Structure 1
Amino acid sequence: MSRWLFDLGNSRLKCAPLHADGGIGEVLAIGHDGGAFAEGWQARLPARIEAAYVASVAAPALRVQLLDALAARSGRIGIAGTQRAWQGVRIAYAEPARLGVDRFLSLLAARARGGAWLVVGVGTALTIDLLDADGRHHGGRIAPSPTLMREALQARAVQLPAQGGRYREFAGDTDDALASGCLGAALALVERSREAARRLCAGPVSLLLHGGGAGALLPQLADAVHDPALVLHGLACWARVEAQARS
């Protein structure tokens, strides 16, 4: 028997065992198309689970598929939701439910590290959130990710490739120009946000990147901390408190 964490995002389900010390084990990633999981996905899940902790920003139908699969395996399922205040984190949204649970959990994970953080998630969307050293969330931004920008361009101009190219300050061919423009737009938004964060916090603000597309930005953000499993780490924080409340 074991405890597992499940992060159902817009393109992948990520899951990992939750250790007794609050750490997480090896992360398993399962793709989906927004309506159904990849073939054979249930066979990749553990056969029996003592407790499952779930965070989801995916479509309701996909979430139901996951919960049905977990109900057959798990004695208990906990579903994380955004809270106005939780373990020292106070979010800026007047309506907590409008802040995606993935962003909320990433703030919990950032809070556990201590200090002020600009938390940047790079997935289908590019999300940016500022958390100061006292745990106050100052709000954030949402924009298309570089990958989504490329896909949107190709949708309107099919001759433009949706992938390929390298980042350059001034590109000498179309593939590199596309990569440079879309990555550059994301980098500019991150840097502008970081400068505003420094002024608001009156001091240094560290940069924390997560999400499947974060790797493309990292070479241009040498001082960034990269945590691909940040949402799962936040879910582990949430699960610890939820388990204590039940005991």
Structure 2
Amino acid sequence: MSDWLFDLGNSRFKAASWRSDGGIGEVLAWPHGADALVAGDASHGPLPRGRRAWLASVAAPALTTQVLALLRERFEQVHVAHTLAECAGVRVAYAQPARLGVDRFLALLGAHAGGGDVLVAGVGTALTIDLLDVDGRHHGGRIAASPTVMRQALHQRAVQLPAAGGHYREFADDTDDALASGCDGAAVALVERSLQQAAGLLGRIPALLLHGGGAEPLLRLLPQAALRPALVLEGLAAWARERHAADAPVRG
């Protein structure tokens, strides 16, 4: 029976098998709501069954509880990841590690496995940016609204401004493109400033990794970036490996 890794975010629910070599299998995705999961409304079939499930969640507590119940029906053991001060060679900058979102923490673990200095940018509901040096020291980061949330917030305050659509242009000549350019451009500018400041802090330019559902549209604006869509799941595999090796898993 296989082990599976699950990533429950604010807008997506993803999973991958945890291979015996420590890597992850094909990434699967389901609709976000637990009701859809119960109904079997999935792009990749029903939720898998297996021996152990490892879950990382930043979703609301009620949804997390529902998903945990579903996983406990299908797996012999269910383990919930949480942020640690140190894990898999990474040392968290936060004085209170629990205040660092587990998705950011796991993304750092996944990034550190590749070696080198790295700036990790997650583009989902929020835009998160974290700096990690080659020795595994986390230097902290930033949190801002993602381009999608910027658009939604503008639409809520001014309904004549569309919540989606348009294309990035440096100087747009219509409202849809101006909105896309402003919101995507704001995210890119924050990433670029973070790269600049990171280079000054470290004395060298870190690699740039993008992950999250909103990362791909920013790639052409950040040509130096590499896309790692499964970075949180990769980090969850590293977390599970460390906890399994210590024989001290955290039960959900």
TM-score by length of 2: 0.94
In the alignment, the residues of structure 2 paired with residue 77 and residue 242 of structure 1 have an alpha-carbon distance, to the nearest angstrom, of: 13
What amino acid sits opposite 1:12 in the alignment? R
Cα deviation, 1:48-85, whole Å, max 9, x if unaligned, reads 21110010000111111111111111111111100011
In the alignment, the residues of structure 1 paired with residue 15 and residue 88 of structure 2 have an alpha-carbon distance, to the nearest angstrom, of: 23
What amino acid sits opposite 1:225 in the alignment? A
In the alignment, the residues of structure 1 paired with residue 246 and residue 28 of structure 2 have an alpha-carbon distance, to the nearest angstrom, of: 28
Q: Which consecutive aligned stretches of 4+ in structure 1 deviate over 4 angstroms post-superposition?
A: 35-39
Cα deviation, 1:143-173, whole Å, max 9, x if unaligned, reads 0000000000000111111111110110011
Q: Which residue of 2 aligns with 1:107?
A: 108
In the alignment, the residues of structure 2 paired with residue 188 and residue 68 of structure 1 have an alpha-carbon distance, to the nearest angstrom, of: 41
Residue 23 of structure 1 deviates from its aligned partner by 1.2
Q: Which residue of 2 aligns with 1:10?
A: 10
Residue 30 of structure 1 deviates from its aligned partner by 1.4
Q: Which residue of 1 aligns with 2:27?
A: 27
What amino acid sits opposite 1:21 in the alignment? D
What amino acid sits opposite 1:99 in the alignment? L
Cα deviation, 1:164-197, whole Å, max 9, x if unaligned, reads 1110110011010000000000000000000000
Aligned 8 A contact 2:56 2:82 in 1: yes
Q: Which residue of 2 aligns with 1:192?
A: 193
Aligned 8 A contact 1:36 1:62 in 2: no
What amino acid sits opposite 1:18 in the alignment? W
What amino acid sits opposite 2:9 in the alignment? G
Q: Which residue of 2 aligns with 1:40?
A: 40
Q: Which residue of 2 aligns with 1:76?
A: 77
Cα deviation, 1:68-108, whole Å, max 9, x if unaligned, reads 11111111111110001112111110111100000000000
In the alignment, the residues of structure 2 paired with residue 36 and residue 12 of structure 1 have an alpha-carbon distance, to the nearest angstrom, of: 14
How many percent identity over aligned positions?
Answer: 63
Residue 37 of structure 1 deviates from its aligned partner by 4.2
In the alignment, the residues of structure 1 paired with residue 90 and residue 100 of structure 2 have an alpha-carbon distance, to the nearest angstrom, of: 13
Q: Give the secondary-structure state (helix, strand or coil) at the position aligned to 1:209.
A: strand
Residue 109 of structure 1 deviates from its aligned partner by 0.6
Residue 41 of structure 1 deviates from its aligned partner by 4.5
Q: Give the secondary-structure state (helix, strand or coil) at the position aligned to 1:200.
A: helix
Alignment of 1:36-185 (within 5 A): 36-37=35-36, 39-41=39-41, 44-46=46-48, 48-185=49-186
Aligned 8 A contact 1:187 1:217 in 2: yes
Aligned 8 A contact 2:195 2:205 in 1: no
Number of residues of Structure 1 aligned to a counterpart in Structure 2: 245
What amino acid sits opposite 1:25 in the alignment? G
What amino acid sits opposite 2:194 in the alignment? S
TM-score by length of 1: 0.96
Cα deviation, 1:34-57, whole Å, max 9, x if unaligned, reads x754642586101x2111001000
Cα deviation, 1:104-157, whole Å, max 9, x if unaligned, reads 000001110000000000000000000011110000000000000000000011
Q: Which residue of 1 aligns with 2:228?
A: 227
Gaps of 5+ in 1: none
Q: Give the secondary-structure state (helix, strand or coil) at the position aligned to 1:29.
A: strand
In the alignment, the residues of structure 1 paired with residue 244 and residue 41 of structure 2 have an alpha-carbon distance, to the nearest angstrom, of: 27
RMSD: 1.4
